[in-house]
Amino acid sequence: MLLRPLLLFILFCVIAKLFWRFIEGVVRGASSPPPGAARRGTPVPVKMQPCPVCGTYVVPGKAISTVSGGTSLHFCSEKCRSEQPSR
């Protein structure tokens, strides 16, 4: 009986076609991303915070931060933190 190998061959062809279409879609998606993801590569600007003592703008991640009264304060240096305004 020769029908069984033929059916397997057709099945293989269909799977190969679907697989190729999937690969093609992946390649196309990688080469031209959707408009929503276009800005993913650009760095997000860091929101800088002014030092409450001298007014120097500092990056919160690198500043000396203290939390007082529920709000976080970012000081530019240890000196400013020691001179922080009393509530």
Binding test (CB under 5 A) with Zn ion, winner from 25, 54, 57, 72: 54
Dihedral angle of Cα 37, 43, 49, 51, to the nearest 10 degrees: 170
Site for Zn ion in 61-80 (CB under 5 A): 76, 80
Three-state DSSP string of 24-40: HHHHHHHHCCCHHHHHH
The two tokens of residue 37 are: 């993801």
Q: In terms of CB distance, is 73 or 80 closer to Zn ion?
A: 80
Contact 66, 84 (CB under 8 A): yes
Binding test (CB under 5 A) with Zn ion, winner from 53, 64, 65, 84: 53
- Smallest distance, Zn ion to C-beta of residue 71, A: 16
Q: Which stretch binds Zn ion (CB under 5 A): 2-10, 21-29, 35-43, 53-61?
A: 53-61
Helix (H, G, I), strand (E, B) or coil at 50: strand
Which positions touch Zn ion (CB under 5 A)? 51, 53-54, 56, 76, 80
